[in-house]
Structure 1
Amino acid sequence: MRGFWGLMRAYWFSERWKEAWALTIIIALLTAVASKASVWIAEASGELVNSIAFFHNPLNMSPLATLLTNAGMLVLLVMIKDVAFVGVRHLFSSTLHRKWRAWLNSRFNKALLDGNHTHFHVQHAARGKDGLIAEAPDNIDQRVQDSIKQMTGGAIGLAMGVLGVATSLYFVGQKLIETSTSVAGLEFLGDYGGAVLAFAAVALYVPANTLIAMKLGGILERLTIAIQQAEGSYRAELTTLLRRSFHVAAAGGENVQKEMHDRLYVGIDRTWGRLNWINAGYMSFETIYNFVAARIVAYGPGLLPYMHEQIDLKRYVTGAELVNSLISQCSWFIQVMPSIATLKANARRITDLAIAIENVQQPQEFYRLSGRSDFRYDAQHPVFGLTVKRLELMHQGEDAQPFLSAGNIRFRRGEWTLIKGESGSGKTSLIKAINGLWPYGQGDIVFPEGVRSYYAAQDVKLQQVSLKRLVCLPDGDEAHADARVAAMLHKAGLGDFIEYLAAEDREGKTWDQVLSGGQKQKLMLARILLHQPGILFLDEATGALDLDAKIAFHQAIKDNCPGITVISVMHELEPPKAANGASFYHSILLVEDGIALKTPIVANPPMEVAAALVQPFPVDGARLRLARIIRAKGKRPGLR
């Protein structure tokens, strides 16, 4: 689905091709029958007009009966066409629209929400071979929802229009040939001279103006894309405002937010203004085109035979109306060019997203286009725990220098390590890199084989599912018994919510709205206690809790998750201690001046973690200064 036509036909060649083709064939048949019904209606209209014209003719023995019969037949044909053909076709076309959109939506959801964390990687830019930065796709929500919906609906409508034009042209062209006559100077064409002139007039007039329409359509397409981007950015900012509404109110930031909205809307207004100018120009072009076609071009082909009295006025007017009908059918592309421009704009938004998704299927290869990305992830025997070797973290750019370096660091089974450092020193980046969520840098990360890990972040955003499902994530709620989930909620300090275990909301509010920041962090504790991971990353996961709650948080993990390895980022000067005064943490990983060094903080650690705390020589101020000197000279310190 990287190109327009690939996107258009993907559904029809997917695993649901039978459904797609069945609906398409039914719609095509109904469209063809509706076009044929138009001819029947035209003939019935002629009969009705004829019965009116000859109502007082002496030869008409039953004028009223004939008139009523022809009128009834016309009404019946119109009802059959509009109800049995057009109405039923609309039902099938709307069903095809719904099915096609659902299939595309599921494809993009599956691609974005895969185990590769594509939804995360696709929001990063990359430098291409031409040296230019490729912007990450903006407003992904708008692309997946609005663009897919508008594109699928527009494509089906245009396809039905094309089919309708083709079938109508067949019948109108057939009628032109039937009523054609010879033309002076074109006797060699016989009775087809009039039809040839008519077809020639259409062939000269329509394509030339179609080219003009295509040029204007290209401008409309670009402006449509621009206004979709502007509208999407404005909507995204409004959505963000609602999420941080309290913080804006508490900081009195309404004026700043208003300035942001005004600045974003300027882009919408400017693009909208240009779009209005082009739309107005296109409307004028189309109006003049239709007038010339109906009053000049349509009457041109029959003028020569009429001047030579080869046809009478009635046949001349009839032929002109047929030519005008033919021009009208052939001009369908001109009439719908704005819709085509919108269709192409939506398709481009979708294909750009599809390309971005495909580009990040190999994340490191993708990130190497815009920087250095040489992380290597491996597994080892669980007895050796988690090991980080020669790790360097960088930002985007080929010439970017490491902002954080770590030598050989080992986290043994059962060891609790506190990562300390000033704000902005790279503590969270280090945890992200270990978990494969930092794009740039290099080094080896070796996880214990078969050991489950869990990453608890400071900011908790809860999805709109049941409370039980929130605790069971990433497992399904059927994977754990209600009693066990309730027990974990109680241990985490959320026992008051056990009765709402199966509810997706409480009093009309989602759980993300109901729970406070501290309660959300306790919910994460319940999830940890339920899954009992072997390695736990706490990225300021207790920042919203008071001291007693932080102690209870740590104590619950210690009591219920034996042998767990904890790697935690906290801003406290001293790590929390248990009620008996013992420290929960066995070691500190200090991040300072771009260097990460690990040192023990307990005199008699448990035997299962003692080996992890052994250093070849004491980590004191002299060693730290030595590491800084080595770093300043551009060498990688071989630290353990």
Structure 2
Amino acid sequence: MPRITSAALSLAKPYWTDPVERRLAWVLALIILALAVAFTELNLWLNELNKSFYDALQNMNAPAFQSSMAHFFTAVGILVVVATAAEYTEQALNIRWRRHLTHALVGRWLDGDTFYRIERDGLCDNADQRLTEDIAEYVRLMLSLSKGFIINLGSLATMGWVLWKSAGPMSFDIAGTHLTIPGYLFWLAVFWGALQTLVTHLAGHRLAGLTVAQQSYEADYRFTLAKVREASEQIALYRGQAVEQGRMQKLFGQIAGNWHQIMRQNIYLNVASTGFSVIAVLVPIIAISPKVLSGELSLGTLMQDISAFAATTTAVAWFARSYRDLFQLSARTRRLEALRLAMAPPPAPGIRVARDPDTDDVAGRGVALALPDGRPLSRVGEFLFEPGARWMVRGPSGVGKSTLLRAIAGLWPFGGGEVRLPAGARVMFMPQKSYLGDGTLRDTLIYPADPGSADDATLAQLLRDCRLPHLADRLDEIAHWGHRLSPGEQQRLAFARALLYRPDILFMDESSSALDNDTEAHLYQMVIDRLPDCTVVSVAHRTTLEVFHPNTLHVAAPA
């Protein structure tokens, strides 16, 4: 528990100490605190009105009864205003805190190649859920539980004092010994609340781990459904629906199995909480009945004490009543902390990639590729790609040709050696399947440059030049282009991107594999003609591309 508390506070600290955000954050927090104090005072007032109300009924005092009712509705009206203002202020603080934490974690996730490294090395599952649901729930629970804790402290102080004064001492004769307990009803409420907390903890302590597991299973199921949606065409062509259904059933089986364990734990927790809630109504009545029956206390005082006893017990048993929320907070904190650890700087890479301001070449020295477990993949050795040169990377399948490009990009640290790139060069990598995001075709074509960096006439002509004339008039159309376009259209669009970006160094990994020979030759010739000074390095199996690449780098498996 101390480790989880430390992690929860560590996640919160940046927002509350941020030079820009902290002033308004603390102002909103103080407003919530002030409203919580007002809420406590109003509950105290209602407790006193409760006594006046029942005393007026017992004494058949109509004017006093009417006065109590008028004050009661006034207090309720003020209470509604205070509760509404507190809720609004809490929501305002919630969205500001959530925005700050989201921007910070997403910024770290997208910093450098962190997001790719997490997926490549399997450091953390379902980062998308952690950056959305877990952040939202963490902030909500932190605010809700903090406010509830403060309100309960106020209730404990005020209602406990009412209980101490109102019920007074209780005397007992035990084995001939006269014993007097001052504020006995207060101590009984404290004992009852502590007992409820202990029993609730024993009944539900396994829920923490089960809740974390449930969130992971739910995320895995949702992620797999999203993958099926993304690959719907391929699955339909393979007629793989039955396989996917079996996979879905297996994943949901994990959800259901874990849920049954949660259900069992909730049985114990509900029996404990419900039992205490029902019995708690009778405890103060039984405890105070001797004074009522003797005429020492009035009906109003009895009702006041019952209300104060319930409030005091509730305050002491705050941990028991907040058990599920505390476990939820613990689960969300663990998941966010795991993501933060996964985003920590990686160890020093085996393949070092550096930007050199004193060279225009792409050079490798002693480059050896390996798998993540350390097994050797291939030994490339030395290579030098001069400015404007065109190279083809050849070798048998599985030897690591695409991995070499990942290593040059700094995405594959496994192995050894050094790669040197020109410091100021514009470098672009074209994978076999390019990323096409949702949005307008214009933004998809311009990516990764800023929207608006090219006029529509230029973009339309570029699409025509890349043999996509049917897209030239659809720049404003919004679609999921990764599904809308065929593999060949996607690769032609990628060439258009490269011509628009005008890189100094262009790496292509099977970037024309879905094109016919004529279109492939047309696009490569456009790259040569329009980017004459561009260094081009291609990974390809087709011999038809040899004419465009005078130089060849052979990659072979280690001996």
What TM-score comes out, normalization by structure 2 length?
A: 0.91
Aligned equivalents of 1:514, 1:223: Cα separation in 2? 41
Change (3 A) 1:216 1:141: farther
Instruction: Show the 5 A alignment for 1:205-220.
Output: 205-220=192-207
Question: Alpha-carbon deviations, 1:267-318, whole Å to 9, x = none?
Answer: 111100000110111000112223443334x3576478779x6944745675
Instruction: Show the 5 A alignment for 1:146-545.
Output: 146-184=133-171, 195-296=182-283, 298=284, 302=288, 311-312=296-297, 314=299, 319=305, 321-358=307-344, 361=345, 363-365=346-348, 373-379=350-356, 381-383=358-360, 385-397=361-373, 400-501=374-475, 503=476, 505=478, 509-545=479-515
Q: 2:75 aligns with which of 74, 77, 97?
A: 77
What is the letter of the counterpart of residue 432 of structure 1?
Answer: R
1:103 pairs with 2:89: no
Deviation (angstroms), 1:211:
3.1
Which position in structure 2 is the counterpart of 1:605? none
What is the letter of the counterpart of residue 570 of structure 1?
Answer: A
Aligned equivalents of 1:203, 1:46: Cα separation in 2? 22
Which position in structure 1 is the counterpart of 2:176? none
Q: 1:30 aligns with which of 35, 45, 53?
A: 35
Change (3 A) 1:39 1:469: same
SS at match of 2:205: helix
Larger helix proportion, structure 1 or 2?
2
What is the letter of the counterpart of residue 526 of structure 2?
Answer: A
1:590 pairs with 2:559: no
Change (3 A) 1:76 1:312: closer
Which position in structure 2 is the counterpart of 1:6? 10
Deviation (angstroms), 1:536:
0.6
- Contact 2:430/2:509, CA 8 A, preserved across alignment: yes
Aligned equivalents of 2:198, 2:95: Cα separation in 1? 33
Aligned equivalents of 1:269, 1:396: Cα separation in 2? 34
Aligned equivalents of 2:302, 2:73: Cα separation in 1? 29
What is the letter of the counterpart of residue 342 of structure 1?
Answer: Q
Aligned equivalents of 2:159, 2:347: Cα separation in 1? 60
Deviation (angstroms), 1:67:
4.9
- Contact 1:418/1:575, CA 8 A, preserved across alignment: no
Aligned equivalents of 1:123, 1:211: Cα separation in 2? 42
Deviation (angstroms), 1:542:
0.8
Question: Alpha-carbon deviations, 1:391-445, whole Å to 9, x = none?
Answer: 1111123xx3421101211111222111222221211111111111113101111
Change (3 A) 1:226 1:168: same
- Contact 1:539/1:569, CA 8 A, preserved across alignment: yes
Change (3 A) 1:201 1:424: same
Which position in structure 2 is the counterpart of 1:606? none
Aligned equivalents of 2:419, 2:95: Cα separation in 1? 46
Which position in structure 2 is the counterpart of 1:597? none
SS at match of 2:159: helix
Structure 2 unaligned residues grouped into runs of 5+: 174-178
- Quick check: 441-450 or 176-185, which moved more? 176-185
Aligned equivalents of 1:481, 1:98: Cα separation in 2? 37
Which position in structure 2 is the counterpart of 1:119? 115
Aligned equivalents of 1:426, 1:163: Cα separation in 2? 60
What is the letter of the counterpart of residue 113 of structure 1?
Answer: L
Question: Alpha-carbon deviations, 1:79-134, whole Å to 9, x = none?
Answer: 2211x1111211111222222211111111111112x2110112344xxxxxxxxx
Deviation (angstroms), 1:208:
4.0
- Contact 2:16/2:22, CA 8 A, preserved across alignment: yes
- Contact 2:362/2:385, CA 8 A, preserved across alignment: yes
Aligned equivalents of 1:184, 1:43: Cα separation in 2? 26
Change (3 A) 1:324 1:471: closer
Deviation (angstroms), 1:539:
0.5
Change (3 A) 1:268 1:183: closer
Structure 1 unaligned residues grouped into runs of 5+: 58-62, 126-134, 187-191, 368-372, 578-582, 595-630, 632-640
Aligned equivalents of 2:83, 2:395: Cα separation in 1? 70
Deviation (angstroms), 1:14:
2.0
Root mean square deviation, CA, Å: 2.7
Change (3 A) 1:44 1:211: closer
Change (3 A) 1:491 1:446: same
Identity among equivalent pairs (%): 24
Aligned equivalents of 1:517, 1:461: Cα separation in 2? 12
Instruction: Show the 5 A alignment for 1:564-575.
Output: 564-572=534-542, 574-575=543-544
SS at match of 1:123: helix
SS at match of 1:326: helix
Aligned equivalents of 1:424, 1:107: Cα separation in 2? 39
- Contact 1:168/1:329, CA 8 A, preserved across alignment: yes
- Contact 1:182/1:193, CA 8 A, preserved across alignment: yes
Which position in structure 2 is the counterpart of 1:559? 529
SS at match of 1:538: strand
SS at match of 2:371: coil
Q: How many residues align?
A: 548
Aligned equivalents of 1:305, 1:43: Cα separation in 2? 19
